[in-house]
Amino acid sequence: MKHQKFTKLELISLMVQINNSKNFNNQFVENMAKAASYYYEILLDENSHPVVFNSNLLPIPKSELKIWCHKYAELIVKRNGELKKYEETAGLFYAMFQEMTENEWQRIKNNTGGNLTNYNREKRDLGKSEIYINEDLKIIIDKYRDDWKNQQTELHSNLRNLRQSSSGCLGVIILIITITSISSIIIFKGPG
């Protein structure tokens, strides 16, 4: 299923419908992940691959999209036991959407106001950048980078808790099987 089969409006409608359902079963989570991914690809193509997006472009609130993205990451970890880097990005892409004015968005979209791409890359890789960009855009990109790191920490904490609770259940099952086996042997052997 390629995003060319869907218009931007169809994807927006689908994301809103899925979100309104509040049904977090695996199929709904996968459908939301696909719709959000296709929508994101369209936004990238329409806007010349900006480093950050205006949050006004989101069809559902960022906080709601975060829930769906984290559910998707949990689903991947339950299935595969791990989260690959590109899957982590899918689980965190909502952090790329930041509050900004329409003027700031136009400047980011058109890459005016300094070398935004290299500033963002250095900020991501080194934690700082010496590249000059306009101060108002610097604030937005810095907020995005901080938001990404915080959300990444939260996501991995949630996934660790998910793994621990899963392995905790496995430990209880093994304990029950062990007790049952020992009880069977004691009952089978009988006293003395």
- The pLDDT score that the predictor gives to residue 166 is 55
d(CA 21, CA 42): 24
- The pLDDT score that the predictor gives to residue 47 is 92
Convert the pLDDT of each residue in 57-104 to its tens digit. Answer: 999 999 999 999 999 999 999 999 888 999 998 889 999 999 999 999
Convert the pLDDT of each residue in 158-182 to its tens digit. Answer: 898 876 665 444 444 444 554 445 5
Convert the pLDDT of each residue in 93-131 to its tens digit. Answer: 999 999 999 999 999 999 888 899 999 999 999 989 999
**Three-state DSSP state, 53:** strand
DSSP annotation of 23 reads -
Q: Are the C-beta atoms of residues 35 and 15 closer than 8 Å to each other?
A: yes
Write the single-letter amino acid at 175.
L
Domain coverage including residue 61: 3-189
31: its two tokens: 């459908």
Q: Are the C-beta atoms of residues 151 and 63 closer than 8 Å to each other?
A: no
Q: Are the C-beta atoms of residues 98 and 53 closer than 8 Å to each other?
A: yes
- The pLDDT score that the predictor gives to residue 46 is 93
- The pLDDT score that the predictor gives to residue 183 is 47
Convert the pLDDT of each residue in 41-57 to its tens digit. Answer: 999 999 989 999 999 99
Nearest-CA neighbor of 141 among 43, 62, 53, 49?
53
Q: How many CA atoms lie within 13 A of 139 on its CB side?
A: 7
How many Å separate Cα 102 from the centre of its chain? 25
pLDDT higher than threshold 60 for residue 184: no
Nearest-CA neighbor of 106 among 56, 175, 148?
56
Total domains in the fold of the chain: 1
Q: Which residues contact 31 (CB under 8 A, 6 or more apart)?
A: 14, 18
